[in-house]
């Protein structure tokens, strides 16, 4: 058996071992904690290094600290609206108002961007809105002057751009001198904003020129960062990036500027020349009128500022105050038609009654004079403004041969397309085929369909006597076409969203003389008037709704399209 001293010694050693073991456990726990902290610091350091490497920054490694991690969150976030002003042009009504239009355009754009951010970009709802518009103001002013929206000064758009810049502190409309300067500024601003962590979102309004495509390739699918803005001349190749797309149709034009030749200033006439025009005398007067008719000119050419003698040099005049017509004597009415001299002279002085009403099917081939109603024919003035259809030259007054390409082929929900005269336009519909007419006539003779139910999906008539059963697709298309051929009571002033009546004659080439055309003469817009100039929101308040009744095709009438299909 062990002695008592030996037992006490072993007991002492055991207690000592337990104390040492507890100390080692504490040291091990501290070591593990330090190791874990070291791993966390290493991960943070590695992430910071990789971020700097991706952004092309310096690869110098700094020890991560708490202030550095807190600074990673962006301060003062902002949203950049980047606009190519050469392609994205503001609506006509804003451009015409000059300074007031520029300030109103800035406020409208700010409201539209904030509304979009609230609905579609939640992470940027509280961010500041910065707008940068770059354009060649000289060339832009020239284009707008050709469309007669502003004056003929070299930089006539400057009052608008300056007012836009002054309206809101973070909005700038900058002159980039030329198109290359515009592209350079757009690229650099986009590169700077895309690398800036404070930039929450970019609205990219430069989606017409293919030169911008390469810059968006690295950001394909990054919807939380970039949104494309659709406008006039949208390039469909931008769809390949799978980015969100929005529109601001009440601010930017939805169609290209109309191609219009600017009016040239006419050369002032001498008193003797003006007297000769007022009182033509002698045999040269019929010869002059015959020459004008053969060369497709009339009194209207000089009435609206076009000088018919601008291209003649030198400016010698004869006894009647006109330029010498060397070699024109053989082209006069006396030498060409000696038997019909009096009849031709009578036609030269007789006005075309159809042109006075706003249309003439013969155009510049008409034998009668095309003078706008109210034009006095003496000094190029008018007793009262002529209608829009008579202000154009005779060659383009009745040009409706290609309205299918001018009218819109689709309608944006919630907006109504308008032409340059603020008149409503309809989407072009192709005429129904014989097969579709046959299906519709069969259905119509069986039971008259309800227009409101089938085209607006709502019928508020109690005990409606018309048919509400489902229509065949062919019959529904014919019904839509038939109603579009009937004039809306409000004509071009209508702003009802689902108005099924017509606001412009959509028949190709129809000038209002065809039998069966129910559209008035003023609704037969020419090709230039069928182009979309702007979009306005729908306004259903206070508008008259179309009747719910079943208006359809009746037997034995003619639709005026050269076919035997009846029209209601």
Q: Is residue 496 part of a domain?
A: yes
Instruction: Report if residue 352 sits inside a domain.
Output: no
Whether 322 has a pLDDT exceeding 60, the answer reads: no
Starting from the edge strand earliest in sequence, which strands make up the sheet with 128-135, in order? Answer: 171-175, 128-135, 78-84, 199-205, 226-230, 244-247
Domain edge (last residue) among 191, 221, 247:
247
Report pLDDT for 83.
Answer: 96
* Nearest Cα residue to 295 out of 336, 332, 249: 332
Strands 244-247 and 78-84, how do they pair?
unpaired
Of 247, 278, 301, which residue is a domain's last? 247
Q: Look at 64 and 138; give whichever has higher pLDDT.
A: 138
Q: What does the mean pLDDT of the chain come to?
A: 74
Q: How many helices and strands in the chain, by DSSP H and E?
A: 20, 8
Instruction: Decide: 527 and 406 in contact? Cβ < 8 Å.
Output: yes
- Out of 247, 278, 307, pick the residue that ends a domain: 247
Res 358: pLDDT: 60
Q: Is the pLDDT of residue 36 over 50?
A: yes
Tell me the residue range of the domain where 133 lies: 78-247
Confirm if 262 and 148 have CB atoms less than 8 A apart.
yes
Q: Is the pLDDT of residue 433 over 80?
A: yes
Give me the pLDDT at residue 56, please: 57
> Tokens for 378?
């003496």
pLDDT higher than threshold 80 for residue 426: yes
- Taking the C-alpha atoms of residue 99 and residue 105, their distance in angstroms, rounded to an integer, is 10
Lowest mean pLDDT among 76-80, 349-353, 455-459: 349-353
pLDDT in tens, 217-238: 999 989 999 999 998 888 889 9
Q: What is the DSSP string of 63-130?
A: ---HHHHHHTS-SS-EEEEEEETTTSPBPHHHHHTHHHHHHHHHHHHHHHHHHHHHHH-GGGTTSEEE
Residue 259 binned pLDDT confidence (cut-offs 50, 70, 90)? low
Q: What is the pLDDT of residues 472-495, one digit of tens each?
A: 889 888 998 998 888 998 888 898
Residue at 317 is within a domain:
no
pLDDT score, position 164: 97
pLDDT score for 330: 36
Q: How confident is the model at residue 348 (pLDDT cuts 50, 70, 90)?
A: low
Encode pLDDT of 204-221 as tens digits: 999 999 999 999 999 998
Instruction: Give a yes or no: residue 182 inside a domain.
Output: yes
Given a cut of 60, is residue 560 above it in pLDDT? no
Q: Report helix, strand or coil for 211.
A: helix
pLDDT surpasses 90 at 5: no
- Select, from the ranges 45-54, 61-70, 259-268, 318-327, the one with the highest average predicted confidence (pLDDT): 45-54
For residue 485, tell me if it sits in a domain.
yes
> In this predicted model, which residue has the larger pLDDT, 108 or 422?
108
pTM for this entry: 0.47
Q: Is residue 413 part of a domain?
A: yes
Quickly state the pLDDT bin for 398 (edges 50, 70, 90): low
User: Does 276 map to a domain?
Assistant: no
Percent of the chain with pLDDT over 90: 29
- According to the per-residue pLDDT averaged within each range, which of 204-213, 339-348, 544-553 is highest? 204-213
Q: Going by C-beta distance under 8 Å and a sequence separation of 6 or more, which residues neighbour residue 564?
A: 558
Start-to-end C-alpha separation, the chain: 130
The 10 Å Cβ neighbour count of residue 549 is: 14
Q: What is the pLDDT of residues 68-123, one digit of tens each?
A: 444 455 678 999 999 999 999 999 999 999 999 999 999 999 999 999 999 999 88
**211 or 264, higher pLDDT:** 211
Q: Are strands 534-537 and 415-418 parallel, antiparallel or unpaired?
A: antiparallel
Average pLDDT over residues 544-567: 39
Q: What is the pLDDT of residue 55?
A: 60
Residue 445, both tokens: 């003779």
Q: What was the pLDDT predicted at 451?
A: 85
Strand partners, 310: none
The better pLDDT of the pair 392, 304 is held by: 392
Residue 253 clears pLDDT 50, i.e. is over it: yes
Sorting pLDDT into bands at 50, 70 and 90, what band is 541? low
The total of structural domains in the chain comes to 2
422 vs 463: CA distance, rounded Å:
39
Residue 175 lies in a domain: yes
Q: Which pLDDT belongs to residue 552?
A: 44
Question: What pLDDT was estimated at residue 134?
Answer: 97
Q: Is 292 exposed, middle or buried (0-12, 13-18, 19+ CB in 10 A)?
A: middle
């Amino acid at each position: 058996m062990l002695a008592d001293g030996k037992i006490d010694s072993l007991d002492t050693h055991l207690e000592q071992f337990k104390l040492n073991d507890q100390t080692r456990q504490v040291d091990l726990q501290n070591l593990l904690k330090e190791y874990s902290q070291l791993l966390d610091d290493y991960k943070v350091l590695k992430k910071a290094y990789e971020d700097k490497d991706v952004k092309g920054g310096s690869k110098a490694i700094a020890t991560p600290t708490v202030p550095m991690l807190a600074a990673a969150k962006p301060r003062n976030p902002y949203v950049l609206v980047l606009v190519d002003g050469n392609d994205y042009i503001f609506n006509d009504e804003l451009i015409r108002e000059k300074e007031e239009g520029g300030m109103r355009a800035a406020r409208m754009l700010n409201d539209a961007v904030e509304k979009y951010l609230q609905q579609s970009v939640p992470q940027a709802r509280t961010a500041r809105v910065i707008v940068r518009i770059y354009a060649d103001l000289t060339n832009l002013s020239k284009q707008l002057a050709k469309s007669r929206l502003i004056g003929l000064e070299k930089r006539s758009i400057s009052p608008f751009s300056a007012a836009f810049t002054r309206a809101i502190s973070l909005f700038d409309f900058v002159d980039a001198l030329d198109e290359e300067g515009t592209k350079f500024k757009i690229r650099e601003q986009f590169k700077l904003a895309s690398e800036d962590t404070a930039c929450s979102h970019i609205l990219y309004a430069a989606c017409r020129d293919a030169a911008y495509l390469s810059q968006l390739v690295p950001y394909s699918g990054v919807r939380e960062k970039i949104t494309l803005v659709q406008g006039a001349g949208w390039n469909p190749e931008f769809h390949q990036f799978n980015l969100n797309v929005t529109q601001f149709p009440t601010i930017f034009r939805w169609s290209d500027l109309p191609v219009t030749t600017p009016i040239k200033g006419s050369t002032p006439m001498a008193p003797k020349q003006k007297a000769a025009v007022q009182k033509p005398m002698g045999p040269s007067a019929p010869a002059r009128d015959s020459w004008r008719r053969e060369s497709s000119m009339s009194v209207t050419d000089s009435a609206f500022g076009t000088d018919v003698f601008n291209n003649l040099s030198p400016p010698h005049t004869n006894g009647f105050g006109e330029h010498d017509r060397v070699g024109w004597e053989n082209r006069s009415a006396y030498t060409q038609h000696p038997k019909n001299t009096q009849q031709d002279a009578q036609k030269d002085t007789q006005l075309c009654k159809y042109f006075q009403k706003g249309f003439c099917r013969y155009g510049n081939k008409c034998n009668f004079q095309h003078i706008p109603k109210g034009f006095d024919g003496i000094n190029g003035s008018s007793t009262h403004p002529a209608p829009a259809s008579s202000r154009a030259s005779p060659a383009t007054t009745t040009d409706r041969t290609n309205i299918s390409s001018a009218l819109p082929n689709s309608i944006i929900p919630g907006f109504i397309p308008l032409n340059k005269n603020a008149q409503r336009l309809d989407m072009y519909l192709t005429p129904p085929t014989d097969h579709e007419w046959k299906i519709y006539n069969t259905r119509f003779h069986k039971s008259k369909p309800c227009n409101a139910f089938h085209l607006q999906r709502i019928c508020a008539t109690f005990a409606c006597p018309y048919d509400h059963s489902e229509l065949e697709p062919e019959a529904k298309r014919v019904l839509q076409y038939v109603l579009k051929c009937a004039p809306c009571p409000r004509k071009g002033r209508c702003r009802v969203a689902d108005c099924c009546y017509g606001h412009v004659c959509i028949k190709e080439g129809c000038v209002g003389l065809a039998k069966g055309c129910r559209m008035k003469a003023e609704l037969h817009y020419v090709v230039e008037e069928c182009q979309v100039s702007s979009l306005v929101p729908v306004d259903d308040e206070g508008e008259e709704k179309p009747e719910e009744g079943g208006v359809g095709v009746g037997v034995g009438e003619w639709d005026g399209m050269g076919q035997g299909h009846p029209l209601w």
